[in-house]
Structures are given as structure tokens and as C-alpha cells.
A and B are shown apart, each in its own frame.
Chain A
Amino acid sequence: RFQELQKEVSELTEAEEKLDELINKCSLQLRLLTEDTHNKKLGYVRCQDLRNTVDPPDQIIMVIRAPAETAMQVSEPSEGYQISLKSSKGPIDVFLCPED
């Protein structure tokens, strides 16, 4: 029984190491992809796209573009629906998605 368990655990160890390697590889691929100049320029959505993703479509849609590591704090509803944003690396852009 002990040897059986030992074998199982070593197989799981191998499987986990393989996953770690794939996760690192995939994270690197994604970072290179999103940081590529051309892709950066083509990495956008249109206002109409945003309207197509909310249900019902005629809602207020607020878009927030913030520098990296901006802190967002959302309060527990019992304290009121409150969101605070605090950036340390630059101004935060907030705008409403136009209706049409």
C-alpha cells in the first residue's frame, strides 16, 4: 500500500512540474503578445462592442483605464455602493461609453 501511494505521489509531482512549466511558458507568450507594438495598436474594442456585451444594452457603461498597480477598493453594499480608485503612477482615465 505504501509503495503504491509513493508511486502515485511521484506521478503527481511530475504532473505538477509539467503544469508549472506550461504556465510559465504561456504567461511569457501572453506578455510578449500584448507588449508587441503592432498588437498593442490593434488591441482595442469599439464602444459598440461594449454595448453588445452588457444586458440589457441600454445601461450606463463607465470605462476605466488606469496605470498599472492602481488600487481599486469596493465597499461592502451594506456600507453603500462605493468604489474608490487610487493611482501612484499617473492619472486615471474615466469616461462614459456613448449611447449610439
Chain B
Amino acid sequence: RSRILISIGESFGSADKFQKINQMLSSSDWSLKRSLDGGSAPKPLKRL
């Protein structure tokens, strides 16, 4: 649930895979929460 995994690099994939991602991103109140608690930028969760 906490991640969306898709395959890219092909021509003309199915259109709706990015719609789902953009809906997930725009529906989040994460930035709202952060702005409310004045949090600093998130620490990178992991590095290569």
C-alpha cells in the first residue's frame, strides 16, 4: 500500500498508471502536516 510500483521505458503505455500516482500525491495532507508543524525538509529515507 505504501508504494506504487510501475514499469516505464515503453512507448505509449496505459495512460491511467500516472493518474493514480498523481492522485495519491495530491491527495496527501503530508505537506499540510509538515507546514503545520513547521517541520524541516524530510531526511532522505535511504541512500543508494
Contacts and interface: CB of A to CB of B under 8 A. Distances in A.
Contacts of A67: 9
Contacts of B4: 73-74
Nearest to A83: B21
Interface in A41-99: 64, 66-82, 85, 87, 89
Interface residues of B, number: 21
Contacts of A22: none
- Grouping DSSP codes into helix (H, G, I), strand (E, B) and loop, the A interface class, with mixed when no group exceeds half, is mixed
Contact of B8 (A66, A77, A79): A66
A41 to B, nearest CB: 14
Interface residues of A, number: 23
A68 B3 CA distance: 21
Contacts of A64: 8
Given A30-B12, A74-B25, A80 B45 contact: yes
Contact of B28 (A69, A72, A76, A82): A76
Interface in B27-48: 28, 30-31, 42, 44-45
24 contacts: A30-B12, A34-B12, A64-B8, A66-B9, A69-B10, A70-B9, A71-B6, A71-B7, A73-B4, A73-B5, A74-B6, A74-B25, A76-B1, A76-B28, A77-B24, A77-B28, A78-B2, A78-B28, A78-B30, A79-B45, A80-B42, A81-B42, A82-B45, A85-B8
Interface of A: 30, 34, 64, 66-82, 85, 87, 89
